[in-house]
Amino acid sequence: MNANWHAWAILLLAVAFEVAGTSCLNASQSLSRPGFAIIAFVCYVIAIIGLALALKSIDVSIAYAVWAGLGIVFITVVGVLVFGEAMTAPRLVFIVLILIGVVGLNLLQS
């Protein structure tokens, strides 16, 4: 199996843990719910380790942009679906632009 494919899979897992960490941080209600705060911390540690591992095969400029961009997109979806945040037309337009940027950067890496 291609090592680069593994790096991208690890990067996507890192994004998932970053989103889970951010979701738990929000659920911790400003760290007043220690269980969620601890889970957030653990998720962030795993996310950083995943990003570090992905950097063995993916350029840092590409990996970080994808990690941050997808994190923004996914946490926005979680915010709308789980936390009841509003999805306005301008917000949707800018989320689509982030996705276009992530796809474009991925194509440059190929």
Over residues 6-62, the pLDDT tens digits come to: 999 999 999 999 999 999 999 999 999 999 999 999 999 999 999 999 999 999 988
Q: Which residue has the higher pLDDT, 107 or 79?
A: 79
pTM score: 0.86
* DSSP sequence for the chain: --HHHHHHHHHHHHHHHHHHHHHHHHHTTTTTSHHHHHHHHHHHHHHHHHHHHHTTTS-HHHHHHHHHHHHHHHHHHHHHHTT-----HHHHHHHHHHHHHHHHHHHHH-
Based on the structure, what is the number of domains in the chain?
A: 1
The whole-number pLDDT of residue 105 equals 80
- Give the domain range for residue 21: 3-109
